[in-house]
Amino acid sequence: MKFFVDTAEIEEIKEFSYMNLVDGVTTNPSLIAKSGNDIKDTIKKICTLISGPVSAEVTANDTNEMIEEGKILHGIAPNVVVKLPLTWAGLEACNKLSNLEIPTNVTLCFSAPQALLAAKAGATYISPFIGRLDDIGISGVDLIEEIRAIYDNYDDLNTLILAASIRNISHVTQVAMIGADVATIPPKILKELVKHPLTDIGLKNFLDDWASTGQKIK
Could you confirm whether 83 is annotated as catalytic? yes
Beta strands in 27-67 (DSSP E): 54-57
Burial of residue 145 (number of CB atoms within 10 Å: 0-12, 13-18, 19+): middle
- Three-class SS of residue 109? strand
Burial of residue 169 (number of CB atoms within 10 Å: 0-12, 13-18, 19+): middle
Instruction: From the candidates 83, 96, 191, 218, give the one annotated as an active-site residue.
Output: 83
Count of C-beta atoms within a 10 Å radius of residue 34: 12
- Active site amino acids: 83
